[in-house]
Amino acid sequence: MSHPYNALHTFHLAIRFKSLKTTADFLHLTESAVSHQLKRLEAQLGYALFYKSGRQLKPTLEGQRLSNELAAPFDHIDQILSSVSDTPRPLTIYCLPSLIEPWLLPRLLAFKEKQPNHEFIINYLSSAPDYLDEYSLRIGSHEKHGRSVYLSTRILSGETIPVCSPIYLTRFTLPVSNQDMLKADLLHDNNPDSWQAWFATQGLKLSQPPRLLYEDFHLLKMATIAAQGIALCPKALIEDDLASGTLVSLSPHKGNLGRYYAIERNKYAHADIVDLFQHLT
């Protein structure tokens, strides 16, 4: 039984775009033509490849397995075809908000001075698709034993230390003890267990549930500087604040042990993305 290249490529793109319309627009086809290709492929395979979730297409378990097998060869094909195309595509970077200003933008500016003809799109990491195509980079945080299916390079440590603002510090009798922090206003990022784990390493138990949760470090840092409480902040991202006295370290004991920031790219990334990846790392 043969499975036409066109139908498999259409399936690959549908996985990437999660939308019949976007896939059809990319291929310059009608939605019905794309739908027909996918249904015929499903009939040949004997199982469903997709199900609908709202307006999005989502792969079934069988569909995801097939996609995993097809991703690398089709990425390679796309890379070869794009290398002979005269039409440049913008380079997309999905980045944690907390890394954009202090880390990404200065390095991106230096790259743009050397390569002024590139067009860039910078998006928040939260909008990154599951599939990282050959024109994209992803910059985010990873836990100690986390693994990536993409080529990944560590760029910064994500381990944290407890800090507060000088204004909030006036609430305590110095030096601030671990017991003092246990009773303080504790600020949490998207991992509410971080403080509990930190106190556990000090032989203490945090019994109060998290009351102040912030989506990411950027918001967490703003709240900490505004004297809302004590936060576990990545030391690598607050060196300037510690040096200027905007934030004060309360303990040398680190939290979120093993956490790190990394930049990821597709194995078959376009040469422009490879250049950018190497420059940033």
Same structural domain, 64 and 131 = no
Position 95 in a domain: yes
| C-alpha to C-alpha distances, 95 to 23, 136, 168, 264, 278, nearest whole angstrom | 25, 11, 31, 10, 16
- What local confidence, expressed as pLDDT, does residue 260 receive? 94
Q: Quote the tokens at residue 153.
A: 């390079």
Same structural domain, 121 and 169 = no
Residue with tokens 């066109």: 6
- What local confidence, expressed as pLDDT, does residue 88 receive? 65
Which strand (E) or helix (H) includes residue 147? none
CB burial class (10 A; 0-12, 13-18, 19+) of residue 64? Answer: middle
CATH number at 142 reads 3.40.190.10
Position 26 in a domain: yes
- What local confidence, expressed as pLDDT, does residue 1 receive? 46
Pairing state of beta strands 151-157 and 260-265? Answer: antiparallel
CATH number at 36 reads 1.10.10.10
| C-alpha to C-alpha distances, 208 to 153, 163, 179, 187, 212, nearest whole angstrom | 37, 19, 13, 12, 11
Q: Quote the tokens at residue 59.
A: 């792969």
- Nearest-Å Rg of the Cα atoms of the chain is 23
Position 45 in a domain: yes
- What local confidence, expressed as pLDDT, does residue 87 receive? 60
Residue (of 183, 188, 163) closest to 250 by Cα position: 163
Same structural domain, 235 and 177 = yes
Same structural domain, 268 and 133 = yes
Same structural domain, 59 and 194 = no
Same structural domain, 169 and 243 = yes
The domain tally of the chain equals: 3
| C-alpha to C-alpha distances, 54 to 21, 70, 137, nearest whole angstrom | 14, 25, 27
Same structural domain, 271 and 148 = yes
Domain coverage including residue 224: 160-249
Q: Cα separation of 254 and 243, whole Å? A: 18
- What local confidence, expressed as pLDDT, does residue 3 receive? 57
pTM over 0.75: no
Same structural domain, 79 and 105 = no
pLDDT tens for the chain, 281 residues: list them.
445 778 888 888 888 888 888 888 888 888 888 888 888 888 888 888 888 777 778 888 888 888 877 777 776 676 666 555 556 678 999 999 889 988 999 999 988 888 888 889 999 998 887 778 888 999 999 988 777 778 899 999 999 999 999 999 999 988 999 999 999 999 988 777 899 999 999 999 988 877 778 888 888 999 999 999 999 999 999 999 999 999 999 999 999 999 999 999 988 888 889 899 999 98
Residue with tokens 């290709």: 37
Same structural domain, 195 and 267 = no
Residue 98, C-beta contacts closer than 8 angstroms, at least 6 positions apart: 216, 217, 218, 221, 234, 237
Position 205 in a domain: yes
Q: Cα separation of 149 and 260, whole Å? A: 16
Same structural domain, 53 and 128 = no
End-to-end CA distance of the chain: 46
Q: Hey, which residues does 142 pair with through a beta bridge? A: 260
Same structural domain, 167 and 217 = yes
Final residue before a domain boundary, out of 83, 111, 146: 83
Position 255 in a domain: no
Position 254 in a domain: no
Position 24 in a domain: yes
User: What is the number of H-type helices and E-type strands within the chain?
Assistant: 12, 12
- What local confidence, expressed as pLDDT, does residue 80 receive? 60
The model's pLDDT over 53-70, given as tens digits with 9 standing for 90+, comes to: 777 788 888 888 888 777
Final residue before a domain boundary, out of 59, 83, 107: 83
Final residue before a domain boundary, out of 83, 104, 137: 83
Same structural domain, 126 and 244 = no
Residue with tokens 């079934």: 60
